Amino acid sequence: MYLFNQYVLIVAGVLAAALAVVFVLQQRRTPQSAAAWILFIIVMPYVGIPIFLMLGFRKQGSRFPAIQFSEPAAPPAEDYSTAETLARLGAPAATAGNGFVLHDTAERALAELDAVIAGATVSLDLQFYILDNDSSGRRLVRLLAEKAREGVAVRLILDRLGTLTRPRRALAEFTEAGGQLRFFSPFVHPPDNGHMNLRNHRKLVIADNSVVWGGGRNIGDVYLAPPEGRWLDLSFTVTGPVVQHFLDVFASDWDVRGHAQQSRRARWSIADQDAVLQLVPSGPDEPGDVLHDGLTNAIHNARRRVWIATPYLVPTEAHSAALAVAARRGVEVRLLIPDRSNKWSADHARGPYLRELGQAGCRVFRYSGGMLHAKAGLIDDTAWVGSANFDVRSMLLNFELALFVYDAGSVGALERWAQGLAERSTEGLTEAGLPRRVLEGLFRLGAPVL
């Protein structure tokens, strides 16, 4: 009987491993990611298969419909090739008649956030990956509780993993005041309600269906507090018809099962607003990889420049190859990164990529004035800013938002910020000895999975 049970376990393990391998091969993955998962599953099936079921899925499947976007109300008069490509890939169309204000300092970001919240009289919809239990986090929740007591309909989405250190007491007071709170992808959930590896990295605030505060900043002292220890980041305020697409995204995320998306209608006035904007969501709720594929195409078509600012540079092979080819054909490629990020693993994983890209002619600028957390870029006369890092996780796994800007004024604001950052940074790479290179190589192998 013992031998029979052992035989059954072995056969079951082999069959389960075979099914898992078939599933891995059917998903769109980088070759390194697929190889790493297959090796893990075959070598240790009784450990690899459960971990794969928790962490190995990239898309939510047909039971989670894609975001339903409203028709654009104000199409731009001029054609923009990147905007058309992104729309063909699945993003909502670009819109004209918007207002766009870039927050290049924490002081301005906080002032704008406070103004957006204070001005709300009907509704407030908020979504964050991180809400720290510090002075900034508790302060925000108190403001939201006050708004809820005033009768404003306040809805808040938090990613469960990102908010492990959330201000629990303040949030309890917020819900008691009438605020609505939902956690995205909680750890304990029905089997059809998401996967642990698919995190919601989006950050946005929508007030009265008419103004949006968004970008790369979470809520915490390192993003919004006084200068000492504060990170360098970017956020923005937008008004106009593009707000409708932010409302569509929030509506889809609020109903995490995606069965009955109920988008509110945006309110705007087009007077004195000339920004041409396009919201590009990406993540497991989209059938394709819109942001990743759109950036790949734009980099390949770049003629003058590709500037990318990111805290974690662990690109997909497609992005790494596109950057290298762009540099070799004479495009100015700038990579703006922190000298040291807050993630030791990411700093080691990026080393081989940076050396390869540097050899291809890419210029690397290391910011040593603190942690660079901004996520932005420019490709010729197009720019973007948002929540997505230039790494495998943001491009292929996380729920993200990127705002593409096409008008000269908005692009110019991001260009001036990026040029100023480069001038405050050190160009070039530090030398890495053999032990570090070996360690970096190991981290690079695991990067697609991690």
Give the closest residue to 292 by CA, choosing from 315, 270, 275, 323: 315
Give the closest residue to 180 by CA, choosing from 131, 115, 127: 127
Q: Where are the beta strands (DSSP E) in 303-449?
A: 305-309, 332-338, 363-367, 376-379, 382-386, 400-405, 426-427
Q: Are 23 and 59 in contact (CB under 8 A)?
A: no
The angle that helices 434-446 and 344-360 make with each other, rounded to 10 degrees, is 100
What was the pLDDT predicted at 164?
Answer: 81
- Cα 425 from Cα 365, distance rounded (Å): 6
- Cα 304 from Cα 330, distance rounded (Å): 8
- Cα 286 from Cα 139, distance rounded (Å): 34
Q: Are 152 and 205 in contact (CB under 8 A)?
A: no
- Cα 127 from Cα 146, distance rounded (Å): 18
**What is the residue-level pLDDT of the chain in tens, covering all 450 positions?**
555 555 555 666 566 667 666 666 666 666 666 776 677 677 667 666 666 666 656 655 555 567 778 776 677 767 799 999 999 999 999 999 999 999 999 999 999 999 999 999 999 999 999 999 999 999 999 999 999 999 999 999 999 887 788 888 899 999 999 999 999 875 555 544 446 667 899 999 999 999 999 999 999 999 998 777 899 999 999 999 999 999 999 999 998 644 455 666 767 665 558 999 999 999 887 778 999 999 999 999 999 999 999 999 999 999 999 999 999 999 999 999 999 999 988 888 899 999 999 999 999 999 999 999 999 999 999 999 999 999 998 998 899 999 999 999 999 999 999 999 999 999 998 877 677 776 766 777 666 555
What was the pLDDT predicted at 226?
Answer: 78
- Cα 424 from Cα 413, distance rounded (Å): 17
- Cα 394 from Cα 391, distance rounded (Å): 6
- Report the chain's C-alpha Rg in angstroms: 22
Give the closest residue to 199 by CA, choosing from 257, 283, 90, 132: 283
Provide the token pair at 408. 């000269």
What are the backbone dihedrals phi and psi of residue 363, each rounded to the nearest 5 degrees, phi first? -95, 125
What was the pLDDT predicted at 280?
Answer: 97
What was the pLDDT predicted at 192?
Answer: 43
Provide the token pair at 33. 């990611």
Which three-class secondary structure state does DSSP give residue 314?
strand
Q: Are 191 and 216 in contact (CB under 8 A)?
A: no
What are the backbone dihedrals phi and psi of residue 46, each rounded to the nearest 5 degrees, phi first? -75, -15
Q: Report strand pairing: 235-239 vs 153-159.
A: unpaired
96-275 is a CATH 3.30.870.10 domain: yes
What was the pLDDT predicted at 79?
Answer: 77
Give the closest residue to 127 by CA, choosing from 220, 208, 233, 201: 201
Domain 290-446 classification at class level: alpha beta
Q: Report strand pairing: 275-282 vs 382-386.
A: unpaired
Q: Are 223 and 375 in contact (CB under 8 A)?
A: no
For 115, residues 6+ apart whose C-beta sits below 8 A from its C-beta are: none
Provide the token pair at 182. 């939902």
